[in-house]
Chain A
């Protein structure tokens, strides 16, 4: 099995022998990598959507949130429509070398979608929807949603 009688062995070279040895080494490496991967998996305790929620709530609760002029109190979940622009969102997520953001505001009462704003280098694969209220400069408040994705 290891040595083919027809294929003469030159200077001790036995192809079948090396194939079997190589296969055993690969199998050993595979098993060890599998064990390591399973071990490290135990420490990946954070749900994959947590970063998306954290960054989305930064926009919803602070950067885009309506702020009372006198008390300076933020109203989480109430979007000040005048804040929804590229400049504000660029200041909200300063370093985009690792993450980029895809944000779009929709007014569900008017059935209107506003411009999508990209912060960073590219589009996102997974977009999530967050219910919000949109406050306009004339004082009207409409039901809306913020579509948010990160990559």
Chain B
């Protein structure tokens, strides 16, 4: 192959590589800026901060979360809140998780819930989430 042909081949190769790199970058940006991803990350962080705020409140308290994300699922465990886009398996992890800081005197009752109306309930020395409000005086259990 002569030098001119080699240079032409090199330029074509560079252009093709450039198109491939541009495509990969655009796909990365597209995925990172997807609305579902951003909303899920926000919901996990906001829920965790909500829990921290409730654990900082004296006496019993019951608060309804103002947003409804009917299509998703939320998991509460001892240290974190996770958002799933489909019914999660028991050992499944989510990229949309956020930690809160628990208290030794309040037991967090972990559970998975389909997100509709979401209640955060601190009653006595227990804390959990629920789709229905706690009725007056009723003890929390799973």
Contacts and interface: CB of A to CB of B under 8 A. Distances in A.
A51 B52 contact: yes
Interface residues of B, number: 37
Interface stretch (A11-19, A107-115, A124-132, A134-142): A11-19
Contacts of B99: 95, 98
A94 B42 contact: no
Interface of A: 9, 11-14, 17-18, 21, 24-25, 28-29, 32, 35-36, 39-40, 42-43, 45-46, 50-51, 54-55, 57-58, 61-63, 65, 73-74, 76, 90-96, 98-99
Contacts of A95: 79, 99, 101-102
B25 A29 contact: yes
B67 interface: no
Nearest to A76: B58
B45 A39 contact: no
A119 to B, nearest CB: 10
Contacts of B132: none
B6 A11 contact: yes
A40 B32 contact: yes
Contact of B33 (A24, A36, A57, A93): A36
